[in-house]
Each structure stands twice: as structure tokens, then as C-alpha cells.
């Protein structure tokens, strides 16, 4: 959750069609700190790590193309000691070497003006091996089978950390060829972007020389080394490998097969074959939480890549496929063609998110990929940040446009948020369905062919899509990518068959929001008929000849990034037509109804009346939407007097589905049923369902003596319920299991369960684990957030974090440092905490945290207001339901 200043949008008081459109890529106009007079073309970098001292020594030569005479060279370096520098063989004086730590710049004053043309810079330097995933970092882990404690190395350079590994022009527009050489112990395997070219035994280990990369951005470099092993296959000319720590590579079998399938799909879709000789998928047992698309050497947090059929869940399998498909889409969109500057990060991330989901859905229709993208199914998983979560952030005062100015490193790191990923993804999906799949793909192929090995801006993509479709894509897109927020379309019908449509900005907890308009590619259908499209380009529009007695559904299949608010008559017709709507449309209605409640356009009864009228079903995505809302309300109510009554009501809504699904796998059930079963067990457990809690305890007891008695799909849910209501003995049992296992996935399940314990004595036992080496560093810091969220004791979690902030922040990566403290406040719903955060931020947090602090303050205010508003509405709805079902008819207000 990293967001930037959004000041410029306040100026859009008058919306015309003339949102200033962005220019196509031009090297000299690309933003950045580095002068564009000198361009590096070829790097040769040699690194010698010292694993005991956690330092490294490095040398490099850089071929430069000097385009205008210069007196100094300016490049990036951070946490590096520059020991010597020379230009064209002439050593510079020590006094000519200046490091500006604040701006992360290295300036070399030259003895005389450097003429235009080719020159060679040579540097000798020393750096550090970090604990957290920034630059070169180390990971300590237990080896599979032996349990021995081992250390390995990995790298993480996006957005601005290649400069911690070697001095470089560390802005994406400075594409160059990189040739890496590294010295590692004899029994290590070293991996980089390109295949090994030579390996030579030298004193103290071996020197591994990798082939040079094609021209690419510096942040895409990778270096991983350790006691590793691999499995491999081929796809045409491409060598495919999965690499993991010793004893684990075989668990990469599933990922290796998926890699081949995805590669063939993308080779065809993009119309340009994967250009490198090899593609490595590398599992890291720590360091960072997600995955990184380094060209030819993608790194993954271990449980995002490795699948153990004996102990991994179906959910893990789906997650792996989707993350693979996302990172592999980047090999083209991001690596082969790269955004010119971080203000266009969405080009990388929105596109890879959309493409990854499209590819995953294509090969795995049973997973309901698009539907389940609607809402966060597991907030602890970064890949699971979903469309609904993005729309929730985008409705707030703290949102920002998809494209936003980026000036500093902190701002570049802040750009990796759900707006960039998921709003970008949603917009592309809406655009694809409006232009048509084939036309859209043609546009993408043209774009790839025209910009391979180059950089682009968003305008280049729109131009390609406009040419392919003959439609003004840039004009449609501007409102969605250059302004914040999104619209709600209000639907009003009359008896003559005319439907009037009005658009306005949809906001939550944001009064006096600047009014904005969008060009909305609408898709609508009379229920049961073929959908039609309408590009809504003004505030008011209309549709005609809709039979007044037939239900009308807008945003068909929920493919659009907007809300719809129906008038009373339309809503009633929709409720009557629910059984004729597909699951996509039912999920869309649920999401819209819930959002109208959040923003106080409707009472909670609107949502629950819809839930009540839904036909009985075990459709995963539909039930998960309901679980998501019930879980949100349950946590919001906390241990207030209303909670017990609400829990009883919520259980009554979920029980019938669980009774239909049952505890045991049925031989012919859909794959999605396993997910639903696990979700229902966890949800009913959280809602304190005595039967589910008792059953989980029994199954856990059986698991302790015979692990095979509990199906892998059920383990996370059963452990979480057992952990939630654990006594000290049970907590210790879970802890022992967590300490013992060498599987990162299993370990996470156990520690997640520990973090959920609601007994405050146990909360105080769980938190200090974050300071130990029991979990990989990135996961250890997340434990505190998890306790804050799951235990119902965010106060104890915050007290702990405040007292240990320095140690916790030392384990955070570049993306986490600004968000960590503010995010711990987002679990509070009492106004007094807002003042506490303000004071804490003023005295302790860097300026770069400011926007995160605003977001947390907004969340506290929203929760506090919503809680007050919701409690009496729930009370009335639940009681009203008991007295007379039909008495309450909840409709949106207008
Ligand atoms: Zn990505």
C-alpha cells in the first residue's frame, strides 16, 4: 500500500475532453536525475562476495557513448565505497570522486573535458551484503533433509537498488548490455540472467562468467548463488530450469511444466518469441515476499514456486500458476519493452497482471480466475490484491491516478501499489472486451514488434491499439489512467422503456471530492438477451426500447471498472431475475451493493436482502464475496456487544452452503469445491461456530499422530481455527511443528495459526517470534501485522512494534520501510488512534511516509464512522428479519 501525492488532480474543476495527453517515448524527454549526455552501452562487472564478513569486492568497466562534451560523469551508487576510478585508463584523483548519499549519486570530476564518442570507465568498489531484500542480500535457511543451517545469496534490484551492487546508470531508460562475473565457493551454483560462459577454478573457489545480456534496464539484473540444484526441460530453443536449494528442486516439477505451457502461449500471443537462450525460475527461501521478473532469471519466494503434492494445497497450486504467468508476461512487457520511467510503472504491472490472469484463466477455466480476482481472498498474499481492494482504495481521498509523477527513489518504490497493479489490470480488461480480443492482440503484437529492446510510454501503447482498432483509445484511456478514482453510473427507468444514465465520481469517506467524468465503455443486457455496448462520453446519456417489465443489467460479467446504482424499480426486477443471471453478474451485484453500503448510499439491508434472495449455490466466487463481507463486519465489530448477535446471523448465512459441501472430498467434485470448503471452515471458525471449532480440534489431534489423516487442502484452515482458540499447550504444539518443518509453505501455515491466537497471553508469545530467525526475514516482520489483524489485539501488536521498531525495520525491504508503522494503525477503528499516529509520525517517521500516514488516518476515520453507522442498521436488519421477512425493503437512496 504505497501511495504518492495527488495534488495535481484538484485542478480538474472543469473536465473537458482535453486531458493533456502524454507524449510517445523520447529519450531526451524522459524524466530522471541523471544527465542524458552520457549513455552506457556495455558493462563488465566482477563481484567477489565474502560470506563471513557479509561484504563484497567489485570491479567494473563501462563502455560509454558520450553524446556531448562533459566535464563530469554522474551515475548512481549507494552503500558502495568507491576505491578507485579511471577514464580511458587514466586514474582519477581521490578528490575527484564524490558520493552524494542523499541523492544516491556518484559524481566523477574529469581532469579535462571528455570529447564525444566512445570511452571506457573503470571502477573498483566495495559493498555490503544486506539482511533484507535490497541489492545483494543473504538468506539463512534449514536444508531439506539434513536440517543443517545454510546461507545463500540473492539479489533484488527493482526499483532502484542495482546501484547497491555496482555503480550504474540506474534508471530504466539507460538500457545496456551487462556481463557479470562472480567468484563463489566450489560447491555452489551461481545463476544470472544469461547462461554460464565459462567456469574456472581459482584460489578460494571458482570464477563463474556469464554471457552478456541484450540491452536492458539495470533493475533487471539478477545474481543468485548457493548450494542449489535444478531440474530442467526445453521448449523449442529455450532451456527451462527450476532452481531451488538442495533437496527441493523436484518440488519445482509443477512449475516447470506450467512454464513450458505459458511460454508457448506467450510466444504466440506476443508474436515475438522469447529472446533469451534460457529461462530460470529460482526459488528463494526468504529475503522478499513476492516474485521479481529479472530477465531470464525470475526469482520467487519459495512457496510461490514450489509445490509438494503431498503437503501443498490447491490454493498454493493456483497461486503458483498465476504468479508464474504474471512474471513471465513481464519477460516481454517490462523486460523486452520497458517503461521509460517509473511514472509509467503501470505499463509493466497493470499489463502483467492482466496478461497473467488471462493466461491462467485460459488454461485453467475451473479456477474461476477472473471472478476470484474480485476480492482479496487472502490479504497476506501480495498476488491476491484484487480488483475490489483496488476499487476500495481508489474511492478514497488518498488515491492517485494510475500514471503519476515520480521524482525520487522513495516515490518510485511507492508506485508499487494496488492502483498500479489492479486498476491497471481492470482497465485493460475493460478495454479488451470493448475493442474485442483479436483486435486487442493485433495491437499488442504491433507494439511488441515496434518497440522490442526499447523503452516506451503509455502513449505508444494507445497508439498501437488505436491503429489496430480504428478507435480513439488514447482519448478513452486518459480519464482512467491520468485522473484518480472511477465513476458510478446511476440507472433510472421509466414505463416507456427509456433508461436514463448519469455518471458521477464514486467516493468513500471523501466529501467534497473534485467532480470528474470518464468515457465509460458500458456493456449492458436485458437479462437473458445478448449484451450491447455504449461508449458513455458525457455526464448524462440514455438507452431506449428496454421493455419496462424486464430486468436490465449493466456492467455485464463485471468486466468494467465502475459501480452501478439502480433505482428501486430496476433493483426489484434484478432481484426477481437472479436465478437467470450468471455467477459473474451475481458477484458483480454483490460487490456493488456492498460498496453502496460502505459509502452510505444504501443501508446494509440492501446487501443482505440480495444475499437472501440468491439461489442456493456452491459457486466459489459468489460465496467468497459473502465470506469477505461477513469477515470484514465481524472484525469491525471487534468484541463489542453486537458481535455475538452478528456472528450468529452470519453463521446462519454460511451454514447451508457448508452443509452442502461437507468436510470430506467427494469423488466427482469440482476443483473449486476444495477452495470453498477451506474458506468456509476458516470463516465459520472465525465466526465461532462451535461445531466447526470442535471438529477442527479433533482433526488437529489426529494430525499430530498421523499427518496424512488431514488433507493438504484443509490444513491452513484447520490450523488457523485451532490456533485462534488455542490454549498454551496447543500453541506450543503448533510452534514445535513450525520449528521442525523445512517447507516454507508448511512453516507459514503454522506461524499464521500462531499469529491468530486471540488469548492475549499467547499474543505476547507470538509477537517476539518476529525478532528471531525462525521465519525468513520478510515473513517475520509480517507476523506482527498478522497478529494485529487476526488476534483482535492490534493494540498489543502496536505496543510491541513501537518498542522494537528499529529491529523490525532492519528486516524490511525497500517497499516496506515507509508503510510498516502506518499499516499497523489500519486495524484500529477508534478516533483516538488517529492522533496517536500523527504524533508518532511527526517524531519518528521520514517524510517519505507522509502519504502512508494519510492513508492510515483515512482508514481509521472510515472504520470509526462505518462502525457507528453499521451497528444500529445490523441490529434492525437482523431483528426485522426474525419478525417478518418481507417488512423491510431496502433500496438505494438517491
Ligand atoms: Zn509484476
SS3 of 811-824: the string is CCCCCCCCCHHHHH
Other Cβ atoms less than 10 A from the Cβ of 363: the count is 14
As a whole-number percent, the residues of the chain with pLDDT over 90 amount to 77
Q: What is the pTM of this model?
A: 0.86
Interval between CA 674 and ligand 1 midpoint (Å) = 28
Burial 557-577 (b: 16+ CB within 10 A, else e): bbbbbbbbbbbebbbebbbeb
Interval between CA 436 and ligand 1 midpoint (Å) = 24
**Which residues contact residue 504 at a Cβ distance below 8 angstroms, ignoring those fewer than 6 apart?**
487, 488, 490, 515, 539
Phi and psi, residue 202, nearest 5° = -135, 175
pLDDT of residue 620: 85
Q: How does strand 38-50 pair with strand 105-114?
A: unpaired
pLDDT of residue 261: 98
Grid cell at residue 285: 527461501
Sheet holding 105-114, edge to edge: 70-76, 105-114, 97-100
As a whole-number percent, the residues of the chain with pLDDT over 70 amount to 94
Chain centroid to Cα 342, Å, comes to: 16
**Which residues contact residue 740 at a Cβ distance below 8 angstroms, ignoring those fewer than 6 apart?**
none
Grid cell at residue 548: 419496462
Interval between CA 349 and ligand 1 midpoint (Å) = 5
Active site residues: 327
Nearest by Cα to 249 from 313, 328, 307: 307
Interval between CA 297 and ligand 1 midpoint (Å) = 14
| Residues 661 and 676 sit within 8 Å (Cβ to Cβ) | yes
Chain centroid to Cα 161, Å, comes to: 19
pLDDT of residue 378: 40
Interval between CA 413 and ligand 1 midpoint (Å) = 13
- DSSP-derived letter for residue 666 is P
Grid cell at residue 185: 565457493
pLDDT of residue 373: 57
Query: Which residues are close to ligand 1, an ion, with C-beta < 5 A?
Result: 349, 352
Interval between CA 846 and ligand 1 midpoint (Å) = 27
Q: How does strand 81-87 pair with strand 90-91?
A: antiparallel
Please, which pLDDT band fits residue 881 given cuts at 50, 70 and 90? low
> Integer distance in angstroms from the first to the last C-alpha of the chain?
33
pLDDT of residue 743: 82
The pLDDT tens digits for 685-697 are 999 999 999 999 9
pLDDT of residue 886: 38
Other Cβ atoms less than 10 A from the Cβ of 469: the count is 17
Interval between CA 416 and ligand 1 midpoint (Å) = 9
Interval between CA 156 and ligand 1 midpoint (Å) = 13
Interval between CA 322 and ligand 1 midpoint (Å) = 11
| Residues 328 and 266 sit within 8 Å (Cβ to Cβ) | yes
Please, which pLDDT band fits residue 19 given cuts at 50, 70 and 90? low
Interval between CA 293 and ligand 1 midpoint (Å) = 7
Interval between CA 452 and ligand 1 midpoint (Å) = 19
- Whether 885 has a pLDDT exceeding 60, the answer reads no
Interval between CA 49 and ligand 1 midpoint (Å) = 29
Q: How far apart are CA 696 and CA 685, in angstroms?
A: 9
pLDDT of residue 310: 84
pLDDT of residue 813: 65
Which residue, chain included where needed, has cell 465503455?
A: 521
Grid cell at residue 625: 464475496
Q: How far apart are CA 670 and CA 755, in angstroms?
A: 31
Range among 376-385, 600-609, 611-620 rated most confident: 600-609
Nearest by Cα to 460 from 471, 448, 469, 470: 448
Q: Which H or E run contains 307?
A: none
- Whether 602 has a pLDDT exceeding 50, the answer reads yes
Please, which pLDDT band fits residue 377 given cuts at 50, 70 and 90? very low
Interval between CA 347 and ligand 1 midpoint (Å) = 10
Please, which pLDDT band fits residue 621 given cuts at 50, 70 and 90? confident
pLDDT of residue 129: 97
The pLDDT tens digits for 864-878 are 999 999 999 999 999
Residues 226-249: what's their mean pLDDT? 97
Q: How far apart are CA 855 and CA 862, in angstroms?
A: 10
Residues 209-228: what's their mean pLDDT? 98
Please, which pLDDT band fits residue 413 given cuts at 50, 70 and 90? confident
Q: How far apart are CA 656 and CA 438, in angstroms?
A: 43
pLDDT of residue 860: 95
Q: Which H or E run contains 205?
A: strand 205-210
Residues 710-731: what's their mean pLDDT? 95
Interval between CA 470 and ligand 1 midpoint (Å) = 30
pLDDT of residue 459: 94
Using DSSP, state whether 91 is helix, strand or coil: strand
- DSSP-derived letter for residue 281 is E
Q: Which H or E run contains 245?
A: strand 238-245
Chain centroid to Cα 617, Å, comes to: 30
Interval between CA 885 and ligand 1 midpoint (Å) = 48
- Whether 639 has a pLDDT exceeding 80, the answer reads no
Q: How far apart are CA 740 and CA 729, in angstroms?
A: 17
Nearest by Cα to 395 from 504, 486, 515, 511: 486
The pLDDT tens digits for 643-685 are 999 999 999 999 999 999 999 998 888 878 888 999 999 999 9
Using only C-alpha atoms, the chain has a radius of gyration, in whole angstroms, of: 28
Interval between CA 38 and ligand 1 midpoint (Å) = 30
Torsion angle, CA of 715/718/720/724, rounded to 10 degrees?
A: -160
Which residue, chain included where needed, has cell 453502496?
A: 596
Nearest by Cα to 535 from 549, 520, 546, 545: 520
Phi and psi, residue 819, nearest 5° = -100, -15
Q: How far is CA 267 from CA 259, 261, 270, in A?
A: 12, 10, 6
Beta bridge pairs of residue 201: 206
Other Cβ atoms less than 10 A from the Cβ of 542: the count is 12
- As a residue count, the chain comes to 894
Q: How far apart are CA 718 and CA 140, in angstroms?
A: 29
Q: How does strand 238-245 pair with strand 278-284?
A: parallel
Interval between CA 353 and ligand 1 midpoint (Å) = 7
- Whether 506 has a pLDDT exceeding 50, the answer reads yes
Interval between CA 705 and ligand 1 midpoint (Å) = 42
- Whether 380 has a pLDDT exceeding 60, the answer reads no
Residues 339-354: what's their mean pLDDT? 92
Please, which pLDDT band fits residue 99 given cuts at 50, 70 and 90? very high
- Whether 275 has a pLDDT exceeding 80, the answer reads yes
- DSSP-derived letter for residue 419 is I
Which residue, chain included where needed, has cell 516439477?
A: 253
Beta bridge pairs of residue 407: none
Q: What is the DSSP string of 25-44?
A: P-TTT---SS-SSEEEEEEE
Q: How far apart are CA 729 and CA 124, in angstroms?
A: 56
Assign 3-class secondary structure to 343-380: HHHHHHHHHHHHHHHHHHHHHCHHHCHHHHCCCCCCCC
| Residues 548 and 493 sit within 8 Å (Cβ to Cβ) | yes
Phi and psi, residue 444, nearest 5° = -65, -40
Interval between CA 717 and ligand 1 midpoint (Å) = 28
Q: How far apart are CA 418 and CA 716, in angstroms?
A: 25
| Cis, bond preceding 141 (omega within 30 deg of 0) | no
- Whether 891 has a pLDDT exceeding 90, the answer reads no
Other Cβ atoms less than 10 A from the Cβ of 419: the count is 26
Kindly report the average pLDDT of the chain as a whole number. 91
- Whether 642 has a pLDDT exceeding 70, the answer reads yes
User: Where is average pLDDT lowest: 544-553, 554-563, 802-811, 860-869?
Assistant: 802-811
Nearest by Cα to 304 from 293, 296, 316: 316
pLDDT of residue 614: 95
User: Where is average pLDDT lowest: 125-139, 343-357, 383-397, 843-857?
Assistant: 383-397
- Whether 836 has a pLDDT exceeding 70, the answer reads yes
The pLDDT tens digits for 381-392 are 333 336 788 898
**Which residues contact residue 212 at a Cβ distance below 8 angstroms, ignoring those fewer than 6 apart?**
42, 177, 178, 179, 194
Other Cβ atoms less than 10 A from the Cβ of 238: the count is 19
Amino acid at each position: 500500500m504505497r501511495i504518492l501525492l495527488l495534488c495535481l488532480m484538484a485542478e480538474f474543476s472543469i473536465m473537458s475532453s482535453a486531458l493533456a495527453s502524454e507524449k510517445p517515448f523520447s529519450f531526451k524527454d524522459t524524466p530522471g536525475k541523471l544527465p542524458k549526455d552520457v549513455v552506457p552501452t556495455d558493462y563488465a562487472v566482477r563481484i567477489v562476495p565474502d560470506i563471513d564478513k557479509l561484504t563484497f569486492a567489485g570491479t567494473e568497466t563501462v563502455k560509454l557513448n558520450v553524446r556531448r562534451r562533459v566535464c563530469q560523469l554522474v551515475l548512481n551508487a549507494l552503500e558502495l565505497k568507491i576505491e578507485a576510478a579511471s577514464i580511458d585508463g587514466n586514474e582519477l584523483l581521490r578528490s575527484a570522486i564524490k558520493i552524494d548519499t542523499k541523492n544516491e549519486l556518484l559524481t566523477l570530476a574529469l581532469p579535462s573535458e571528455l570529447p564525444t564518442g566512445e570511452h571506457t570507465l573503470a571502477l573498483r568498489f566495495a559493498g555490503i551484503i544486506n539482511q533484507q531484500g535490497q541489492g545483494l542480500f543473504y538468506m539463512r535457511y534449514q536444508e531439506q533433509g539434513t536440517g543443517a543451517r545454510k546461507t545463500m545469496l540473492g539479489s533484488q534490484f527493482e526499483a532502484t537498488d542495482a546501484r547497491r551492487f555496482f555503480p550504474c546508470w540506474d534508471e530504466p531508460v539507460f538500457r545496456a548490455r551487462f556481463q557479470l562475473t562472480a567468484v563463489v565457493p566450489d560447491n555452489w551454483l551461481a545463476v544470472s540472467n544469461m547462461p554460464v560462459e565459462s567456469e574456472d577454478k581459482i584460489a578460494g573457489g571458482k570464477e563463474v562468467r556469464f554471457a552478456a545480456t541484450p540491452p536492458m534496464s539495470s533493475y533487471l539484473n539478477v545474481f543468485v548463488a548457493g548450494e542449489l540444484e535444478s531440474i530442467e526441460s526445453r521448449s523449442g530453443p529455450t532451456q527451462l530450469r527450476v532452481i531451488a536449494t538442495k533437496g527441493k528442486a523436484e518440488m519445482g516439477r509443477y512449475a516447470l511444466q506450467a512454464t513450458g505451457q505459458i511460454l508457448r502461449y506467450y510466444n504466440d500471443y506476443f508474436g515475438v518469441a522469447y529472446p533469451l537462450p534460457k529461462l530460470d525460475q529460482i526459488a528463494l527461501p526468504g529475503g522478499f515476499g513476492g516474485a521479481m521478473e529479472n530477465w531470464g532469471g525470475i526469482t520467487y519466494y519459495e512457496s510461490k514456486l514450489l509445490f509438494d503434492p503431498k503437503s501443498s494445497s490447491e490454493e498454493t497450486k493456483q497461486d503458483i500458476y498465476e504468479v508464474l504467468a504474471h512474471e513471465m508476461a513481464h519477460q516481454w512487457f517490462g523486460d523486452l519493452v520497458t517503461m521509460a520511467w517509473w511514472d509509467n510503472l503501470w505499463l509493466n504491472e497493470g499489463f502483467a497482471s492482466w496478461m497473467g490472469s488471462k493466461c491462467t484463466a485460459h488454461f485453467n477455466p475451473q479456477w474461476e480466475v477472473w471472478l476470484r480476482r474480485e476480492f482479496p481472498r487472502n490479504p497476506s498474499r501480495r498476488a491476491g490484491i484484487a480488483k475490489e481492494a483496488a476499487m476500495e482504495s481508489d474511492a478514497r481521498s488518498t488515491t492517485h491516478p494510475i500514471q503519476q509523477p515520480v521524482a525520487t527513489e522513495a516515490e518510485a518504490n511507492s508506485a508499487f501499489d494496488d492502483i498500479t497493479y489492479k486498476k491497471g489490470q481492470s482497465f485493460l480488461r475493460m478495454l479488451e472486451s470493448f475493442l474485442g480480443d483479436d483486435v486487442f492482440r493485433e495491437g499488442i503484437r504491433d507494439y511488441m514488434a515496434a518497440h522490442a529492446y526499447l523503452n516506451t510510454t503509455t502513449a505508444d501503447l494507445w497508439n498501437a491499439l488505436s491503429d489496430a482498432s480504428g478507435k480513439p483509445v488514447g482519448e478513452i484511456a486518459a480519464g482512467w489512467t491520468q485522473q484518480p478514482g472511477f465513476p458510478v453510473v446511476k440507472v433510472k427507468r421509466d414505463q416507456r422503456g427509456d433508461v436514463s444514465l448519469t455518471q458521477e465520481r464514486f467516493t468513500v469517506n471523501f466529501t467534497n471530492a473534485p467532480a470528474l467524468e470518464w468515457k465509460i465503455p458500458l456493456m449492458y443486457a436485458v437479462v437473458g438477451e445478448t449484451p450491447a455496448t455504449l461508449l458513455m462520453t458525457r455526464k448524462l446519456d440514455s438507452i431506449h426500447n428496454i421493455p419496462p417489465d424486464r430486468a436490465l443489467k449493466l456492467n455485464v460479467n463485471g468486466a468494467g471498472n465502475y459501480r452501478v446504482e439502480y433505482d428501486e424499480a430496476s433493483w426489484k426486477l434484478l432481484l426477481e431475475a437472479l436465478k437467470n443471471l450468471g455467477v459473474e453478474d451475481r458477484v458483480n451485484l454483490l460487490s456493488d451493493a456492498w460498496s453502496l453500503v460502505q459509502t452510505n448510499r444504501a443501508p446494509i439491508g440492501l446487501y443482505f436482502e440480495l444475499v437472501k434472495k440468491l439461489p442456493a449455490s456452491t459457486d466459489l466466487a459468489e460465496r467468497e464475496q459473502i465470506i469477505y463481507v461477513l469477515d470484514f463486519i465481524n472484525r469491525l465489530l471487534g468484541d463489542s456487544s453486537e458481535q455475538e448477535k452478528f456472528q450468529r446471523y452470519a453463521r446462519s448465512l454460511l451454514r447451508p452452503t457448508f452443509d452442502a459441501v461437507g468436510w470430506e472430498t467427494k469423488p466427482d467434485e469440482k476443483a473449486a469445491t476444495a477452495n470453498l470448503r477451506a474458506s468456509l471452515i476458516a470463516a465459520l471458525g472465525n465466526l465461532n461456530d462451535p461445531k466447526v471449532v470442535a471438529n477442527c480440534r479433533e482433526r488437529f489431534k489426529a494430525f499430530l499422530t498421523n499427518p496424512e489423516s488431514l488433507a493438504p487442502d484443509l490444513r491452513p484452515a484447520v490450523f488457523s481455527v485451532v490456533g485462534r482458540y488455542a490454549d498454551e499447550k496447543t500453541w506450543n504444539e503448533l510452534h514445535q511443528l513450525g520449528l521442525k518443518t523445512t517447507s516454507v509453505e508448511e512453516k507459514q501455515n503454522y506461524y499464521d495459526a500462531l499469529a491468530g491466537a486471540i488469548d492475549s497471553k499467547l499474543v505476547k508469545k507470538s509477537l517476539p517470534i518476529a525478532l528471531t530467525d525462525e521465519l525468513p526475514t520478510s515473513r517475520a516482520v509480517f507476523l506482527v501485522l498478522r497478529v494485529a489483524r487476526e488476534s483482535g489485539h492490534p493494540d498489543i501488536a502496536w505496543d510491541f512494534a513501537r518498542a522494537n521498531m528499529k529491529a523490525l525495520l532492519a528486516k524490511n525491504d525497500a517497499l516496506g520501510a515507509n508503510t510498516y508503522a502506518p499499516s499497523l494503525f489500519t486495524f484500529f477503528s477508534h478516533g483516538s488512534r488517529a492522533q496517536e499516529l500523527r504524533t508518532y509520525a511527526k517524531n519518528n517517521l521520514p517524510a517519505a511516509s507522509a502519504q502512508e500516514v494519510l492513508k492510515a488516518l483515512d482508514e481509521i476515520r472510515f472504520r470509526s464512522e462505518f462502525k457507528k453507522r453499521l451497528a444500529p442498521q445490523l441490529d434492525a436488519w437482523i431483528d426485522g428479519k426474525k419478525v417478518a421477512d418481507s417488512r423491510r425493503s431496502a433500496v438505494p437512496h438517491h
